[in-house]
Amino acid sequence: MRSTRSLPVVVAGVLLVSACGGGGESVDTGAGGGGGGGGGDTLVAAVSAQPDQFDPHVTTAYPSFQVLENVYDTLVVPNAEDLTMEPSLAESWETSGDGLTWTFTLRDGVTFHDGSEFDAADVVYSYNRIIDEELSNSFRFQNVADVTAPDPRTVVITLSQPTPNLLERIGSFKGMAILPENAADELDLTTEANGTGPFRLESSDASRTVLTAYEDHWGGAAGVGGVEFRYITEPAAALTALQSGEVQWTDNVPPQQIESLTGDDTVELQTTPSVDYWYLSMNYARPPFDDRDVRRAISFAIDREAVAEAAWFGAAQPNQTAIPEDSFFHTDYAPFQPDPDQARQLLEQAGVQTPLTMGLMVTDEFPETVTAAQVIASQLEPIGINVEIETLDFATWLDRQGQGDFDAFYLGWLGNLDPAAYYQEQHQTDGPNNYQGYSNPQVDQLLQQGATETDETARKQVYDQAAQLIVDDVSYLYLYNPDVVQAWAPGLSGYQIRADKAINFETVELP
């Protein structure tokens, strides 16, 4: 799964073959509650790109996490159904009355792939590594004052302020993986791994990454003997490989073929709305986009359904708020129906001279944004807004976003699990990802309240209020949630498609 907040950069690096920390050849899988005892068969999965590296605390690339998901564990993990947090390496936890002390009881009998025992010192080491080295996920610990291990089975996290979403912060993806103590000194973590997950990292080169089942995995041995991730960038080639039986699983399905594949009995295709959202945002520092009426006019002029259809061939669900319906924090609010007349009226009210020119920055890193921008341009033209589409490569795009050099831009946020993270960073005054420059004291106050409210129902109400203001003010013009689309060989069992796009092969069994 992709790092919660970073839009991944499509993979860049390469990994050299390297066996992972050997050893640990013990037997006895009898007690395993999991799959069928790891037959000799290997599942071949076609993924679209090569992992850049395998250090879970350093990488931000989705292809790396596709692999790491199967190699490492976190204290808690998102449940496959509704993405609420459930036990993993931590068996249970307690929160003190003031919400400042969280005590985790760790699972017994967990071993790393080299055979060494997992204990609380490993957790303390892993978290401190992220904090002390200011690695890309250190922001997740910004409220954490201290991580200690009073005994080998207990970890205590002390906070500087109540953090109701702490579990999401430490468990939403394998970027928060638990490494064995001193792993960074003993291994080259960019190419080697020593985790507690169902598979060990065997080798990786410019064509494939190979995992083998870890027989002593605490959840029982995996249902397959191993997994080979093969990098096939071109979707048509990946689909051909699946249909001809060269691979048994892929997430690289050409979106325009989803419809025709649905009734096809040579592949099993499944989709589910993701917790990713794509949005358009305008620059509050550039008139006339600082005018709420102008932004609302644009929101009224856009037909989200048509944009989703063009960008994803219908494999996306239009949404006027951030996350999809089946998520706990979904806000049911849709005040903007396509209405060009109202849009024109709002522009007039704002005193805007039409035609008005608006630059819209998109990136070819995500080609669907380019298509969507063309649809948006055609929808805004009738109300007198001339959209100049600027297609940039991602590095330049990010630079200009950072410098505030844009009228409007179009992008997405992936893997959004908890509103404390995404609303606060994107919409709070001077929030780290508030590139548009939105500032509404009322929203700020609600977001502050939500960040410390420990009662879930009350929290949800607070965020619902904030979300409505954000939508009304058009801080983000939310557009849609794309579907997760994955396909596999008929007869492959035990695989579950997930809204957070985590790919876990632990329970998969081959036909």
Partner 1 sequence: MSVIVFGLVQLVPGDPIRLALGTRFDQETYDALLARSGLGQPLVTQYFGWAGRALTGDLGVSFRSGETVTSLIAERLPATLTLAFASILVALLIAVPLGTLSALRPRSVVDRVATVLSQIGISVPEFWMAIVLILVFAGTLGWLPSGGYVPLTEDPGGWAQRLLLPAVVTGVVSGSVITRFVRSSVLEALGADHVRTAQAKGLPTRQIFAWHVLRNALLPLVTVTGVQLAYLLSGVVVVEIVFAWPGLGQLALQAVQSRDYPVLQGAILLFAVVFLLINLVVDLLYTAIDPRIRR
Residues at the site binding partner 1, with contacts judged by CB under 8 A: 3, 5-17, 50, 52-53, 55, 58, 60-61, 133-136, 138-139, 188, 190-191, 205-208, 230-234, 236-238, 240-241, 243-244, 246, 365, 393-396, 398-399, 401-402, 411, 413, 425, 432-433
Report in angstroms how near the CB of residue 236 gets to partner 1 at its nearest.
5
Report in angstroms how near the CB of residue 207 gets to partner 1 at its nearest.
5
Cβ proximity to partner 1, 80 vs 131, nearer residue? 131
Cβ proximity to partner 1, 434 vs 507, nearer residue? 434
- Closest by Cα among 363, 46, 50 to 235: 46
Report in angstroms how near the CB of residue 488 gets to partner 1 at its nearest.
16
Report in angstroms how near the CB of residue 6 gets to partner 1 at its nearest.
3
Question: For residue 490, is the peptide bond before it cis, meaning its omega torsion is within 30 degrees of 0?
Answer: no
How is residue 83 written in tokens?
């993405």
Report in angstroms how near the CB of residue 233 gets to partner 1 at its nearest.
5
Give CA–CA dist 110/217, Å, rounded: 7
How is residue 185 written in tokens?
């000194």
DSSP string, 400-420: HHHHT--SEEEEEE-----HH
- Closest by Cα among 251, 244, 393 to 315: 251
Report in angstroms how near the CB of residue 402 gets to partner 1 at its nearest.
6
Question: For residue 324, is the peptide bond before it cis, meaning its omega torsion is within 30 degrees of 0?
Answer: no
Report in angstroms how near the CB of residue 237 gets to partner 1 at its nearest.
5
Cβ proximity to partner 1, 216 vs 500, nearer residue? 500
The Cα-based distances of 295 to 249, 286, 332, 353 in angstroms read: 43, 12, 21, 15
Determine contact, residues 403/396, Cβ cutoff 8 Å. Answer: no
Report in angstroms how near the CB of residue 409 gets to partner 1 at its nearest.
10
How is residue 11 written in tokens?
């993979």
Cβ proximity to partner 1, 288 vs 415, nearer residue? 415
Which residues face 101 on adjacent strands?
158
- Closest by Cα among 144, 417, 458 to 275: 417
Cβ proximity to partner 1, 413 vs 488, nearer residue? 413
Report in angstroms how near the CB of residue 251 gets to partner 1 at its nearest.
15
Residue 421: Cβ within 10 Å count? 22
- Residue with the two structure tokens 């977001």: 447
How is residue 232 written in tokens?
């096939």
Cβ proximity to partner 1, 254 vs 340, nearer residue? 254
Cβ proximity to partner 1, 119 vs 268, nearer residue? 268
Cβ proximity to partner 1, 14 vs 334, nearer residue? 14
**Residues in CB range of 463: below 8 A, 6 or more apart:** 329, 331, 419, 423, 446, 450
Helix pair 340-349, 292-301: axis angle to 10 deg = 170
Give CA–CA dist 413/406, Å, rounded: 19
Cβ proximity to partner 1, 55 vs 69, nearer residue? 55
Determine contact, residues 232/251, Cβ cutoff 8 Å. Answer: no
